[in-house]
C-alpha cells in the first residue's frame, strides 16, 4: 500500500492544501492513515471500528470542497450517528445498534471534506474520565502505554497524539474533550453550549452539559472545523450567538492585554498533585511574558453542592438513556447489559425524585449567574485541566468488596439501598477527584480549552485549561494561537511514533 511519508509533518489544513495543489491525492492520505492505524492501534487500542472500504471509496470519489478536503478523520462512537455503521456508545446493550441516518454534525463533518476511517474507543456512555470499557478494553496513552488516555474521548485523543489522523471527533459532557487532550498532549476545545448542532436525535445533550467538537494537533484546525460545523440546525432549542468573523481568522490576531485570572483551587475535588501546580506556575509565567495581566482569584462557588447537583443530573440522564434504549431496541435491559457503575448510576437515577432533578438544575443555573459576574472582571480563567498527571490504567476502577457489593445490589435492582448506603453526595466526592476543574464549565456552558503547554519530569503531558466568557471562543482562539507560538508542541512526538512510521 502506497502512502505519504511526510504525513505527520502537516496538520489537517496543511494536508488539505497539498490536496488542493494536487501535490498529494486523498487516497494517498487515506492509505497512509490506514497504515499507521494498522501498525500502532494494536498498542494503543484507539480505533474500535474500521471503515476502510467506505473511506477508500470516498477518497477516490467527488469529495466536497471544504476546509479539510481529503483529510483522514475518525468519529468517537457516541452521539455521532453515521448511517449504516454501528453506534455502540461503548456498551454491550447497544453493540448491534445501526442507525439509518447521519447526525447533523456528521453531515457537516462530511461537508468539510474529511474522509472518515472509523470509530474511536470510549468509556461506556462516555461516563468516565478514563477510557477503559469492558466492551473494547482500555485505550493506551501514546506517551506511556501503561497510562490512561483520559476520557471520554480517549480513543480520539490517542489517535491524534499517535499521528494516525491529524484531528478527530470528540464530545464533552464533563471534560471529555479537555481531559483526554490533556492526557495525550493535544489541543482540545469545548465550544460554547449551542454552538454545534445536536440534531436530529437530540434537542441538547445531558440538559446542555454536553457538546461535540474535535481534538487536534494545531489550534487552527480546531478553529477551521468549528467554522465548518457551527450554527443552529432545524428545531434546535437554542443556539449560541454567531461569531463576528470566522474563528480561523482569530487564530493569528493579537488578543490584546487580556485580564487572566488563575487558580489552583480545585472546584469539585480536594487535592492537586505537584506536577499540575508546576504546570500552572509555568503557564502563569508564559502569560506574564506575553504581556497579559495575570491575577490569582477564587471562584465564588460551593463546589460540593455543585458536584452533587451535577451528578444528580447525570444519574437521571443515564436512566433515561437506558430506558430510551429499551424502547429503541424493543427489549428489556438488565444488569448484564451494562458495566456495574453504569447500571448503578441508572438505578440511582430511577430512585431520585423529579424535584431533585429540578433543584439541581436551579442550583447550577444560579451558580452560572455568579460565575458570569466573575467574568465581568476577567477575560479568561486559567487552571490545570486535571488534578494529576495521567493515571496508571486501572487505577480508578472500582475493585474488591466495593465492586462485589455494587454487582450484588445491581442484580437486585436495589437502587433505594444503594442511595441510602452511598448517596449522591458520597459518589460526587469520588467522581471528580481526577477531573476536578472541567465539569463546572459544562454546567455553565462556557467555552474552555486544554492547551498542551507542560510535560512532567516523567515525560507525561499535563494540559492547562483556559476558560472564556459564554460565546467567546474568539478570545480563546486568539490566545491559543499566541501560546502555540510561544511554546510550540506540534513537533513533540510520543515515544511510540518518535520515528517515522
Residue 50 a catalytic site member: no
Catalytic hit among 152, 156, 222, 419: 152
Query: 3-state SS string over 172-188?
Result: ECCCCCHHHHHHHCCEE
Catalytic hit among 35, 103, 176, 360: 176
The β-bridge relationship of strands 380-384 and 167-172 is unpaired
Residue 39 a catalytic site member: no
Residue 95 a catalytic site member: no
Cβ partners under 8 Å of residue 95, min gap 6: 86, 88, 135
Alpha carbons 378 and 468: distance in angstroms, whole number: 9
Residue 486 contacts residue 284 (beta carbons within 8 Å): no
DSSP-derived 3-state class of residue 452:
strand
Residue 89 contacts residue 126 (beta carbons within 8 Å): yes
- Which burial class, exposed, middle or buried, applies to 99 when counting CB atoms under 10 A from its CB (0-12, 13-18, 19+)? middle
Q: Report the interhelical angle of 26-44 vs 52-59 (nearest 10°).
A: 160
Dihedral class, residue 235 (left if φ above 0, else alpha if ψ from -120 to 50, else beta): left
Alpha carbons 479 and 291: distance in angstroms, whole number: 12
- Which burial class, exposed, middle or buried, applies to 271 when counting CB atoms under 10 A from its CB (0-12, 13-18, 19+)? exposed
Q: What are the grid coordinates assigned to 202, written together?
A: 437530540
CA torsion sign, 346 to 348 to 353 to 359? negative
Alpha carbons 8 and 183: distance in angstroms, whole number: 20
- Which burial class, exposed, middle or buried, applies to 495 when counting CB atoms under 10 A from its CB (0-12, 13-18, 19+)? exposed
CA torsion sign, 168 to 172 to 177 to 183? negative
Q: Comparing C-alpha atoms, which of 404, 397, 385, 501 is closest to residue 450?
A: 385
Catalytic hit among 35, 76, 341, 456: 76
CA torsion sign, 117 to 147 to 437 to 297? negative
Which secondary-structure segment (H or E) carries 189? strand 187-190
* Length of the chain in terms of residues written: 501
Cis peptide before 170 (omega within 30 of 0): no
Active site residues: 76, 152, 176
Amino acid at each position: 500500500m502506497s502512502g505519504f511519508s511526510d504525513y505527520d509533518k502537516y496538520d489537517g489544513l496543511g494536508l488539505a492544501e497539498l490536496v488542493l495543489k494536487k501535490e498529494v491525492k486523498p487516497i494517498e492520505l487515506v492509505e497512509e492513515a490506514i497504515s499507521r492505524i494498522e501498525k500502532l492501534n494494536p498498542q494503543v487500542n484507539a480505533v474500535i471500528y474500521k471503515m476502510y472500504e467506505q473511506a477508500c471509496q470516498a477518497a477516490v470519489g467527488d469529495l466536497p470542497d471544504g476546509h479539510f478536503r481529503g483529510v483522514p478523520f475518525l468519529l468517537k462512537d457516541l452521539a455521532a450517528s453515521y448511517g449504516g455503521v454501528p453506534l455502540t456508545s461503548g456498551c454491550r446493550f447497544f453493540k448491534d445498534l445501526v442507525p439509518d441516518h447521519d447526525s447533523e454534525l456528521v453531515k457537516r463533518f462530511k461537508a468539510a471534506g474529511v474522509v472518515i476511517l472509523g470509530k474511536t474507543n470510549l468509556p461506556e456512555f462516555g461516563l468516565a474520565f478514563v477510557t477503559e470499557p469492558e466492551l473494547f478494553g482500555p485505550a493506551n496513552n501514546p506517551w506511556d502505554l501503561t497510562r490512561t488516555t483520559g476520557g471520554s474521548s480517549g480513543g480520539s485523543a490517542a489517535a491524534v497524539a499517535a499521528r494516525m489522523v491529524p484531528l478527530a471527533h470528540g464530545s464533552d459532557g464533563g471534560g471529555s474533550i479537555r481531559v483526554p487532550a490533556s492526557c495525550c498532549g493535544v489541543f482540545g476545545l469545548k465550544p460554547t453550549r449551542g454552538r454545534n448542532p445536536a440534531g436530529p436525535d437530540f434537542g441538547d445533550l445531558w440538559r446542555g452539559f454536553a457538546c461535540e467538537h474535535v481534538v487536534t494537533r494545531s489550534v487552527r484546525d480546531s478553529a477551521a472545523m468549528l467554522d465548518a460545523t457551527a450554527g443552529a440546525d432545524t428545531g434546535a432549542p437554542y443556539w449560541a450567538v454567531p461569531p463576528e468573523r470566522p474563528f480561523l481568522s482569530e487564530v493569528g490576531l493579537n488578543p490584546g492585554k487580556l485580564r487572566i485570572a488563575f487558580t489552583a483551587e480545585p472546584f469539585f475535588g480536594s487535592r492537586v498533585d505537584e506536577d499540575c501546580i508546576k504546570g500552572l506556575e509555568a503557564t502563569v509565567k508564559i502569560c506574564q511574558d506575553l504581556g497579559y495581566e495575570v491575577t490569582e482569584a477564587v471562584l465564588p462557588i460551593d463546589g460540593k453542592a455543585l458536584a452533587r447537583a451535577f451528578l444528580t443530573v447525570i444519574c437521571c440522564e443515564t436512566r433515561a438513556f437506558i430506558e430510551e434504549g429499551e424502547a429503541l431496541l424493543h427489549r428489556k435491559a438488565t444488569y448484564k447489559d451494562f458495566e456495574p457503575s453504569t447500571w448503578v448510576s441508572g438505578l440511582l437515577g430511577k430512585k431520585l425524585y423529579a424535584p431533585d432533578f429540578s433543584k439541581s438544575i436551579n442550583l447550577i443555573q444560579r451558580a452560572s449567574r455568579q460565575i458570569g459576574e466573575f467574568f465581568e472582571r476577567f477575560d479568561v480563567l486559567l487552571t490545570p485541566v486535571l488534578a494529576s498527571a495521567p493515571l496508571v490504567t486501572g487505577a480508578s476502577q472500582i475493585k474488591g468488596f466495593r465492586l462485589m457489593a455494587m454487582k450484588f445490589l445491581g442484580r437486585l435492582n436495589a437502587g433505594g439501598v444503594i442511595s441510602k448506603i452511598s448517596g449522591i453526595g458520597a459518589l460526587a466526592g469520588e467522581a471528580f477527584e481526577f477531573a476536578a476543574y472541567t465539569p463546572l464549565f459544562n454546567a455553565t456552558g462556557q467555552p474552555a480549552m486544554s492547551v498542551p503547554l507542560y510535560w512532567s519530569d516523567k515525560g507525561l503531558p499535563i494540559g492547562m485549561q483556559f476558560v472564556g466568557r459564554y460565546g467567546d471562543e474568539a478570545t480563546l482562539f486568539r490566545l491559543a494561537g499566541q501560546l502555540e507560538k510561544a511554546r510550540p508542541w506540534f513537533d513533540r512526538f510520543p515515544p511510540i511514533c518518535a520515528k517515522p512510521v
